[in-house]
Homo-oligomer: A and B are copies of this chain.
């Protein structure tokens, strides 16, 4: 059968279960002889430790929960990969929960994770989350919590994000160096920190390089390709259309490229376009798309490391660590005027 316990081993060997337990856990207080014997018979009997009993006993489940809007978005699944790869060697399991960007689902998932006695929680906050009492509950229980990408500013909670402002700045700077002087921006929902920061990075680059700010060049978009085609139409109707677009999203940048090509406007010759996120498809568009890589796997690994630190330290000390990763500018053909 399948359920061999330390008690079974103890019976077979005529010793106590406690001794078996000690042998199995390399407890120093045991004779080498019996230790060897126990280990051998345990192997023979195909003994496997019951993680559940251990978890109940120790209060430690060796499991962490990850909350993301959707697992099948490339960015999130890459972060998950990072977390899993960093935590697996430490014996942790990874439970995945999807919030579908729904605040209520987020609360529910937090609750079930708490019930499941996870040792830590990683989350990218849902778009619609306003109330944070469920997060407070996590903190009350002293469960390490790490935000990634989308965070709330809550004292005592660590987070791993990327420097969106700088990512935007690098992009715009790159466009300027390509000779562009009239740079437009596709702006996301600035209620979200990340988009506000990208917008600010755009502004900062313009300022630093003494380029004038033109409010007609800033178009509010969502993250769909259609939004990009609409935005670029608006731009091209301007008396003085831009010679570059810095988009806060790869998808809107794609929509723009498609619309421009349809109208015979060349990218990058007539107008340079850069996106944001380094979605896998950006390397396959025509032309290939310049974008900003958010290093999601690294983000996951960092988040995991922050968690491990937290676990290693004093239980009662909720150290708050804010890690800000540097994004990576990926230059491709959509902004490359030296192609020839």
The answer to whether A339 has its CB under 8 Å from any CB of chain B is no
Contact with B along A79-113 (1 / 0, CB 8 A): 01100110010010111111000000000000110
The answer to whether A51 has its CB under 8 Å from any CB of chain B is yes
Given A72-B81, A95-B95, decide whether A117 and B2 contact each other with a Cβ distance below 8 A. no
Tell me whether B50 and A53 are in contact (CB under 8 A): no
Q: How far is the CA of A2 from the CA of B70 in the complex (A)?
A: 30
Q: How far is the CA of A282 from the CA of B114 in the complex (A)?
A: 40
Tell me whether A95 and B93 are in contact (CB under 8 A): yes
Tell me whether B51 and A115 are in contact (CB under 8 A): yes
Q: How far is the CA of A141 from the CA of B1 in the complex (A)?
A: 7
CB-nearest residue of chain B to A116: B51
Q: How far is the CA of A85 from the CA of B71 in the complex (A)?
A: 10
Tell me whether A71 and B77 are in contact (CB under 8 A): yes
Q: How far is the CA of A63 from the CA of B96 in the complex (A)?
A: 11
Q: List 10 A-B contacts (CB under 8 A).
A: A63-B116, A70-B81, A72-B81, A74-B77, A81-B98, A84-B98, A93-B112, A94-B95, A254-B284, A284-B285
Contact with B along A37-51 (1 / 0, CB 8 A): 000000000001111
CB-nearest residue of chain B to A115: B51
Given A51-B115, A56-B56, A94-B95, decide whether A72 and B74 contact each other with a Cβ distance below 8 A. yes
The answer to whether A161 has its CB under 8 Å from any CB of chain B is no
The answer to whether A52 has its CB under 8 Å from any CB of chain B is yes
Tell me whether A2 and B141 are in contact (CB under 8 A): yes
Q: How far is the CA of A298 from the CA of B301 in the complex (A)?
A: 30
**Interface range on chain A: under 10, 10 to 19, 20 to 34, or 35 or more?**
35 or more
CB-nearest residue of chain B to A65: B93
The answer to whether A286 has its CB under 8 Å from any CB of chain B is yes
Tell me whether B50 and A117 are in contact (CB under 8 A): yes
Q: How far is the CA of A142 from the CA of B2 in the complex (A)?
A: 9
Residues of A whose CB lies within 8 Å of any CB of B are 2, 48-53, 55-56, 61, 63, 70-74, 77-78, 80-81, 84-85, 88, 91, 93-98, 111-112, 114-117, 140-142, 254, 261, 279-281, 284-286, 297
A188 → B minimal CB distance (Å) = 20
Q: How far is the CA of A96 from the CA of B87 in the complex (A)?
A: 12
Q: Indicate which residue in B52, B73, B141 contacts A55 across the interface (CB closer than 8 Å).
A: B52
CB-nearest residue of chain B to A225: B284
A282 → B minimal CB distance (Å) = 8
A23 → B minimal CB distance (Å) = 18
Tell me whether B48 and A115 are in contact (CB under 8 A): yes
Tell me whether B77 and A115 are in contact (CB under 8 A): no
Q: How far is the CA of A56 from the CA of B85 in the complex (A)?
A: 28
> Which of A55, A95, A96 is most buried by chain B, counting CB atoms within 10 A of its CB?
A96
Tell me whether A96 and B96 are in contact (CB under 8 A): yes
A148 → B minimal CB distance (Å) = 15
Having A48-B114, A52-B61, A77-B77, one finds 5 other A-B pairs with CB under 8 Å, namely A48-B111, A51-B116, A52-B116, A70-B81, A91-B112
Contacts of A70 in B (CB 8 A): 81
